[in-house]
Amino acid sequence: MKNFFNHIELKFANLLSKISFMLLMVVGLLMVYFLFREVYNLVLLAFLSESEVHYYDILESILSFFIFFEFLTLIITSLRNKGHVSLIFLLSLGITSLIRLLLTYHERLVGVLLIASAILILIIGVFVLKKFVFPNDDTADYF
């Protein structure tokens, strides 16, 4: 009886793994669509007339493009490693996303300081992971 349940458990875990893989591929295709849509919008914005608002729209479009690109990279890394993504890669993704947010956020000094503090905490986290948790890990798949 125990053998039967182990067999069912293995089959069910295998099914869920395949469903997860397929859904990750669908999300990847959606990211490719949004990436190309952002490139299209960026090209359209590049040919509009000059204005200060136009500059911020172009900057926002460029930053959105790179965010979609990073998420696509995350999905590709996950698919290559059978669903596993390095924690350091995720932290570096958070750092770059917060840096992009910092580039566009200019409303309040407190908000800028909070974003900068979050970036510093994530950088410290990456340092601690590389120095103490994974000291012998020389793979560069997280950058």
Does the residue 140 lie in any domain?
no
| 33: in domain | yes
Mean pLDDT, residues 85-102: 86
Residues 6+ apart with CB under 8 A from 27: 75
Q: Is 73 inside a domain boundary?
A: yes
At residue 114, the pLDDT reads: 93
Task: Name residue 130's amino acid.
Answer: K
9 within some domain: no
How far does CA 135 lie from the centroid of its chain? 24
Domain-located, residue 11: no
| Segments forming the whole domain that contains residue 57 | 27-133
Residue 20 maps to a domain: no
pLDDT at 48 over 80: no
Band of the pLDDT at 143, cuts 50, 70, 90? very low
pLDDT tier for residue 138 given thresholds of 50, 70 and 90: low
42: in domain: yes
| Residue entry with tokens 């204005």 | 51
Q: Do residues 100 and 106 lie in contact, with contact meaning Cβ atoms separated by under 8 Å?
A: no
Query: Considering only 19-33, 45-59, 111-125, which range has the smallest mean pLDDT?
Result: 45-59
If one counts the domains in the chain, the total is: 1
Prediction pTM value: 0.68
Residue 121 lies in a domain: yes
Inform me whether the pLDDT recorded for 89 exceeds 90: no
